[in-house]
Amino acid sequence: MKHTISVLLQNKPGVLSRVTGLFSGRGFNIESLAVNQTIDPDVSCLTLVTVGADAIIEQITKQLHKLIDVIKVTDMAETDYVEREMVLIRVKAEAATRAEVLRVIDIFRGKVVDVSPKSYAVEVTGTEDKIQAVIDILKPIGIQEIVRTGTIAMTRAKKTV
């Protein structure tokens, strides 16, 4: 089962290496990884997606808690949360296909971020399924390059006071 894990870390050199080393040392795979500093520049938020049985995920979270520079570990499967990815896609956009590319991007609420005589670079954000759907639709038109972020996730705010 796929799990999204959010880890608050001290923003220091080598911390990310220790986290990824924990995974590689135990033979666990990281499906995606995204990290950047939080509103506090001394703290980073790392969001990673991994696959494993509940017992393995529990082992991973316990091992993460043991790392010195780890502040907090949250398995998002235990909370209500939102997640997003972003993809940049360079797709062929010659005279015959320009309108079709723009129509597809409009349907997926994406936007064109770079234009050349023979291609568009487009940006789309959304769930992993949405990102895969836009890739599948643009593939027959002619995708030239894809750059994809990892999943980022945030717990939902409480709806009651």
Give the model confidence (pLDDT) of 104-138 as tens digits: 999 999 999 999 999 999 999 999 999 999 999 99
Query: DSSP letters along the chain, please?
Result: -EEEEEEEEE--TTHHHHHHHHHHHHTPPEEEEEEEE-SSTTEEEEEEEEE--HHHHHHHHHHHHHSTTEEEEEEGGGS-EEEEEEEEEEEE--TTTHHHHHHHHHHTT-EEEEEETTEEEEEEEE-HHHHHHHHHHHHHHHEEEEEE---EEEEPPPS--
Q: What is the pTM of this model?
A: 0.84
Residue 78, pLDDT score: 84
For the chain, which residues score pLDDT lower than 50?
none
